[in-house]
Amino acid sequence: MSLVVVGSVAYDGVETPHGRVDRMLGGAATYISLASGYFTQTSLVAVVGDDFAQDDTQLLLDHGIDLEGLERVTGKTFFWAGKYTPDMNDRITLTTDLNVFANFQPKLPPRYLSEPYLLLGNIQPGLQRQVRAQMKHLRLAGGDTMNFWIKDFREELLATIREWDFLLINDAEARMLSGHENLKKAASAILAMGPHTLVIKRGEYGAMLFRKDSFFVVPGYLLETVFDPTGAGDCFAGGFIGYLAQQGFDLKADHISRGELSRAVIYGSVMGSFCCERFGVERFRTLERKEIDARFDEFVKFTSF
Amino acid sequence: MSLVVVGSVAYDGVETPHGRVDRMLGGAATYISLASGYFTQTSLVAVVGDDFAQDDTQLLLDHGIDLEGLERVTGKTFFWAGKYTPDMNDRITLTTDLNVFANFQPKLPPRYLSEPYLLLGNIQPGLQRQVRAQMKHLRLAGGDTMNFWIKDFREELLATIREWDFLLINDAEARMLSGHENLKKAASAILAMGPHTLVIKRGEYGAMLFRKDSFFVVPGYLLETVFDPTGAGDCFAGGFIGYLAQQGFDLKADHISRGELSRAVIYGSVMGSFCCERFGVERFRTLERKEIDARFDEFVKFTSF
């Protein structure tokens, strides 16, 4: 079952307590696709400049990602640089050069329009809405957003997520969007905004899935060393939707399975944890599906009682 | 199976975003005993002043707590006051009047000396060590400590915990004690200091249990409203050791069960969560054992996949 991923493909400069890389492949849609590609056929919709390296294109192709929707235009690829705090739970942005991403208008190749799964990475809500509106055969659609859109594009964002099946955000965003400090109250308020399912990512503390009448909470995976948390939340999203797509899951159907959704949260957590083990997308150069399933089994082991 | 709890009994003044109480029953040993009392016969060793109210004595007696070890001396009971930050994950201390607690020398009634379970609340490590040395028939002993002892009484603390089966601390304390930011590394370092078992409490984010070759992680219970987190970590400790004592658990024996330890962590989490539902010890005035078991079942439900 095929998944369409829309969002940013970028170059990142990252500094963490474990080192520094001045320029490497990044962007939300890159991480989402690399993660989802382990589970399901993934098609990427994004824009890059003419500086986008052949090696980076090849990495995506090697992961079976369909790049017909990856537009190449004259100019430079989106560049972001940031530095993490010592505990790596926070970061400051040093540089944001939108470059060709500033005028991004997602263009979906016609054959993408009938795909059943859609993951909208964090971009301007109006663009997310336009993409959603073009896809008429969706079984499951949802995405991510961020503080900037919640604060300054609230009405547009609300109109956008009203049409989503699921919203994937972090705890600070959930508090900001809902106006509630308490996450249980925040979740109830957000579920009333449209999505049937809300996933709140809490970084090293794990993730929570809320539906109207149930919720599921999983702690984070304990890594010996977190090299670079960049992209972990996006890899979570990729693992989550990738697993559901692989299962042929249909959130709208009567046979909604809380068990499947919980396992999707675990696969999301697994993918996020692998992402942190190396800088940028490095871990995905060698990661194999059997390692993913082995880590899923570890989750079973360290959370069951 | 009987449990001896040693620590502070105090009066607290607490301000949270939900209200303010100028003076109410508190103290680590109070919370530990109230929680453990739901699981096992508990004996309290502490000191209070002549201002200690009969109502407060009665509350402890009503929970079946043996007070022969509760010394009453001339002077005022330990008083602490603090104010929580808006998210309640941190607090500032406004007042610490040690009063009669400044000269606390734990005195164990002779019949306590042969009890099998010991929980040492957060007091001066040398005193914890003296108590531990007096008890010759222990099946399980451990306790809590805090940043002040880790920083300024390090050698004494290390000599003390070397003789413990388990140590229960929070994540900041684990980092400080071990010198490692990463909790997995911190846990390995601390397990090399003596205790076979380490429990790291993470407040709203849950708790982790580490042993040499395994670990267990549980997320926190999601409350709609956290009225007052004061005492939640101590109630966790009381639920943890109380459950193990009720089961007749022996950490030194060959039949160490990881399952029992995990369930003890859940019961600890359950007791900590109830504590937060009202100010101070209020929730324990009405809490019934069947509510505790129902919440344990909720944990099963929202963490299984």
For residues B204 and B225, give the distance between their C-alpha atoms in angstroms, rounded to a whole number: 12
Query: Taking CB atoms and an 8 Å cutoff, what residues of chain B touch A215?
Result: 222, 302
DSSP state letters, chain A = --EEEES--EEEEEEETTEEEEEEEE-HHHHHHHHHTTTS-EEEEEEE-TT--HHHHHHHHHTT-B-TTEEE-SS---EEEEEE-TTSS-EEEEEEE-GGGGG------GGGTT-SEEEE-SS-HHHHHHHHHH--S-SEEEE---HHHHHHSHHHHHHHHTT-SEEEEEHHHHHHHHS-SSHHHHHHHHHTTS-SEEEEE-GGG-EEEEETTEEEEEPPP--S-----TTHHHHHHHHHHHHHHHTT--TTSTT--HHHHHHHHHHHHHHHHHHTTSSTTGGGGT--HHHHHHHHHHHHHHH--
Q: Which residue of B has its CA nearest to A215?
A: B302
Q: Do the Cβ atoms of B305 and A263 come within 8 Å? A: yes
What per-residue confidence (pLDDT) applies to A253? 64
Q: Do the Cβ atoms of B184 and A304 come within 8 Å? A: no
What per-residue confidence (pLDDT) applies to A254? 52
Q: Which residue of B has its CA nearest to A261?
A: B305
For residues A154 and A143, give the distance between their C-alpha atoms in angstroms, rounded to a whole number: 16
Numbers of helices and strands, H then E, in chain B: 10, 13
What per-residue confidence (pLDDT) applies to A195? 96
In this prediction the ipTM stands at 0.89
Q: Could you say which of A217, A220, A266 has the minimum Cβ distance to residue B222? A: A217
Q: Could you say which of B182, B215, B303 has the minimum Cβ distance to residue A217? A: B303
What per-residue confidence (pLDDT) applies to B250? 82
Q: Do the Cβ atoms of A182 and B216 come within 8 Å? A: no
B117-152 in b/e form (b: 16+ CB < 10 A) is: bbbbbbbbbebbbebbeebeebbbbbbbbbeebbee
How many inter-chain contacts (A to B, CB under 8 Å) are there? Answer: 82
DSSP β-ladder status, B214-218 and B207-211 = antiparallel
- Give, for all 305 residues of chain A, the pLDDT tens digit: 799 999 999 999 999 999 999 999 999 999 999 999 999 999 999 999 999 999 999 999 999 999 999 999 999 999 999 999 988 888 999 999 999 999 999 999 999 999 999 999 999 999 999 999 999 999 999 999 999 999 999 999 999 999 999 999 999 999 999 999 999 999 999 999 999 999 999 999 999 999 998 999 999 999 999 999 999 999 999 999 999 999 998 876 656 688 899 999 999 999 999 999 999 999 999 999 999 999 999 999 999 99
Q: Could you say which of A182, A226, A262 has the minimum Cβ distance to residue B305? A: A262
Chain A residues with at least one Cβ partner in B under 8 Å: 17, 86-87, 181-185, 202, 205-206, 208, 214-220, 222-226, 259, 262-263, 265-266, 300, 302-305
What per-residue confidence (pLDDT) applies to A87? 83
Q: Do the Cβ atoms of A224 and B182 come within 8 Å? A: yes
The SS3 of residue B16 is: strand
The DSSP secondary-structure symbol of B289 reads H
Q: Which residue of A has its CA nearest to B297?
A: A305
Angle at B238 between CA B183 and CA B69, to 5 degrees: 130
Backbone angles phi, psi at B65, to 5 degrees: -85, 130
Chain A: closest CA distance from residue B277 (Å): 13
Query: Taking CB atoms and an 8 Å cutoff, what residues of chain A touch B202?
Result: 205
A66 token code pair: 């369909």
Q: Could you say which of B215, B223, B303 has the minimum Cβ distance to residue A184? A: B223
What per-residue confidence (pLDDT) applies to A257? 80
Q: Which residue of A has its CA nearest to B85?
A: A181
Q: Could you say which of B87, B217, B220 has the minimum Cβ distance to residue A303? A: B217
> What's the alpha-carbon Rg for chain A, to the nearest Å?
18
Q: Which residue of B has its CA nearest to A266?
A: B305
Q: Do the Cβ atoms of A217 and B263 come within 8 Å? A: no
For residues B134 and B108, give the distance between their C-alpha atoms in angstroms, rounded to a whole number: 9
The DSSP secondary-structure symbol of B224 reads S
Q: Do the Cβ atoms of B305 and A216 come within 8 Å? A: yes
B208 token code pair: 């982790």
Query: Taking CB atoms and an 8 Å cutoff, what residues of chain B touch A266?
Result: 305
Query: Taking CB atoms and an 8 Å cutoff, what residues of chain B touch A224?
Result: 182, 184-185
Query: Taking CB atoms and an 8 Å cutoff, what residues of chain B touch A219?
Result: 205-206, 208, 217-219
What per-residue confidence (pLDDT) applies to B117? 97
Query: Taking CB atoms and an 8 Å cutoff, what residues of chain B touch A203?
Result: none
Nearest CA-CA partner of B115 in B234, B241, B15: B241
Q: Do the Cβ atoms of A183 and B225 come within 8 Å? A: no
Q: Do the Cβ atoms of B205 and A219 come within 8 Å? A: yes
Q: Could you say which of B218, B226, B300 has the minimum Cβ distance to residue A219? A: B218
Residue to substitute from B204, B211, B302, B305, interface A, most A β-carbons within 10 A: B305
Query: Taking CB atoms and an 8 Å cutoff, what residues of chain B touch A182?
Result: 223-226
Q: Do the Cβ atoms of B303 and A202 come within 8 Å? A: no
For residues B238 and B5, give the distance between their C-alpha atoms in angstroms, rounded to a whole number: 9
Q: In angstroms, how far is CA A250 from the centroid of its own chain?
A: 19
The SS3 of residue B43 is: strand
Q: Do the Cβ atoms of A218 and B219 come within 8 Å? A: yes
Angle at B113 between CA B111 and CA B116, to 5 degrees: 105
Query: Taking CB atoms and an 8 Å cutoff, what residues of chain A touch B183?
Result: 222
- Give, for all 305 residues of chain B, the pLDDT tens digit: 799 999 999 999 999 999 999 999 999 999 999 999 999 999 999 999 999 999 999 999 999 999 999 999 999 999 999 999 988 888 999 999 999 999 999 999 999 999 999 999 999 999 999 999 999 999 999 999 999 999 999 999 999 999 999 999 999 999 999 999 999 999 999 999 999 999 999 999 999 999 998 999 999 999 999 999 999 999 999 999 999 999 998 876 656 688 899 999 999 999 999 999 999 999 999 999 999 999 999 999 999 99
Check: CB of residue A202 under 8 Å from CB of residue A170.
Answer: yes
Check: CB of residue A231 under 8 Å from CB of residue B233.
Answer: no
Q: Do the Cβ atoms of B216 and A266 come within 8 Å? A: no
